[in-house]
Amino acid sequence: MSGLFPFQRVTRTYRHLGRMRRILAVLFRNGFGFMFDKLRGLVPEGKSAGNWEELASSPVSLPERLRHVMTELGPTFVKAGQILAGRPDLIPHEYVEEFAKLQDQVPPFPFETVRQIIKREFGVELEELYSEFDQEPIAAASIAQGHRARLHDGSEVFVKVRRPDIEQSIRADLEILGFLADYLEKQNPELRFWNPGKIVEEFSRRIEEELNLDLELANIQCFARQFRGREGLLVPKVWPKLSSGMVLTMQYVRGCKASELERLPEFGLDPLKISRLGVDLLLEQFFLHGFFHSDPHPGNIFFLPGNRICYVDFGQVGRVSIEEREAFAGLLGCCLRRNFRKAARLLLELVEYEQEPELGDLERDLEAFTDHYLYREIEDVKTQSVLQEFYRLCTRHRVGLKSHIYLMLKAMGESDMLGRQLDPAFNIIRQLRPFLLRVFLRSLNPAKKGGRLLEHYEELQDFLRLMPKQQKSFWQQCLEGKLQFNSRLLGLERLEDFLKHGLNRISIALIQVGLLIASALVIHANHPPMLLGLPLVALIGIGCSLALFVLMYLDMVRRR
């Protein structure tokens, strides 16, 4: 959040001042005000700041308080909590359980608004595009709602329409959250381990993806290409000419939702075949294609007659590189062969960290983790329990899984739970083995190895070609006295920030004085045009001076 005040920072910090005051008021009312004590000037008088002791002794738990805050602050915060509920590698387990209770509680927007959006997006009336269009939505969520419709050629479709103006309100909330996360990291060193900035960055990226329905259209098309001709899978058809960033028209799917397993007999479905097909499709996405549906919860999966499967809601997808797939397969293989030193190095390729963990400690924890499950019967190994312990291992060593790696593991856990509901004897680990073996054998392919050697050779060629130019430039700058060294003294950021703000305040004060002096001279000259008996130009100058004073005062309150 560093930068010049007010011209560069006012757009982020104070552009949505009313909304920020509302957010802070809710935080103060729920006992979190002490974390933002320097922003007290933006909160109405009488709000208690609270403290850690009060929160710890309260009958309402800290995670539950935060859930109430998110519910009160509306759709952006509810969505953020829902996303965080799926990231146990970022937040503690008790918060995950509490945030999982968050539900979208938003009413559908009027059909007339749907009609206006479609006309604005495609330039014609709704009736020219659809022969039928149900006015009542099938589902309404925080970002979009969906309607059943029918095209003029008879095709039954599902039309997803984004909420009007939701992008502006979400972006405003994300800007404020970014500011508050930076504030927490700077003012509360004990919270840096939670990395609030990274958490905000994670769900900001996810929400941005869901806001763009045109991106969801592209995801469906990519998914259809990679699974073209695959038996047992239906990818919903899409109509690009009837889709945009605000509207998505796709095939209406009729079948048994994976969340309604009691209806399987109605569709003549075989639970055993469905469970094995589901996990095969998922593992193919991970290990063969590297592009996968990252939110395959039961509400996003349909089972169709003929023991087929259909995924819906492609707003969230993930991508895994070949190198990451091989690292993941190698990690599991090394743990099974008890080569924990190499396993630790491979794990570091799948995570992010500020400081590399102690490899010896990581090796020992991986060994203990492996021994915990290695000698059990495979039927007794619950994938969710394995993943939860693995997330705790990562947290202990202050490393965080790359977001797409986490989404891959999360999808595997959800698939294992669904598979066990369909078939009590099901276990995803048994079906994982052939895919891992395939990845391992592919890594040994001479053609693949030759291709990588060629890539390394080309990189070396580029390095050798550029090195003489870089050396020449270096020595030329040395001889001409133009060589510059950049250094940074750690710990001086606060002093630098203080001096910047001091200089900015002095500059603003000088501008204020100049405006007041100029306004006084204009008043003395009594120069027309006049308003309320005073020259209009003088009134404008006084107004600008007052506005600068208010901005400077708010900044002083915030940094007090």
The kind and range of the H/E element at 309 are strand 308-311
Structure token pair of residue 267: 């569709």
Report the candidate in 448, 422, 419, 445 with the shortest Cα–Cα distance to residue 432: 419
Distance CA 370, CA 48 (A): 49
Q: What is the DSSP letter of 242?
A: G
Catalytic residue among 89, 295, 313, 365: 295
In single-letter form, the type of residue at position 254 comes to R
Contact 94, 101 (CB under 8 A): no
Burial 330-347 (b: 16+ CB within 10 A, else e): bbbbbbeeeebeebbbbb
* Secondary structure (DSSP) of 344-396: HHHHHTSEE-SS---HHHHHHHHHHHHHHHHTS-GGG--HHHHHHHHHHHHHH
* Among 68, 17, 62, CA closest to 43: 17
Tokens found for residue 481: 């006295």
Q: Tell me the longest C-alpha to C-alpha distance in the chain.
A: 95
Backbone angles phi, psi at 49, to 5 degrees: -80, -25
- Angle subtended at Cα 23 by Cα 18 and Cα 27, rounded to the nearest 5 degrees: 145
**Alpha helices (runs of H) in 30-61, residue ranges in sequence order:** 52-57
Q: Which amino acid is at 122?
A: F
Is 295 an annotated catalytic residue?
A: yes
- For 538-553, give one letter per residue: b (16+ CB within 10 A) or e: bbebbeebeebeebbe
CB contact at 8 A, 423 and 271: yes
Strands annotated E in 10-155: 130-133, 139-140, 144-151
Place of tokens 């329990």: 385
What is d(CA 424, CA 485) in angstroms, rounded to the nearest whole number? 65
Phi, psi of 427 (to 5 degrees): -150, 125
Which distant-in-sequence residues (6+ apart) come within 8 Å of 304 by Cβ? 234, 253, 255, 256, 267, 310
Token reading at 310: 């259909």
* Residue 254: both structure tokens together: 């009729």
Per-residue DSSP letter, 235 = P
CA distance 19 to 169: 10
Return the active site residues.
Answer: 295
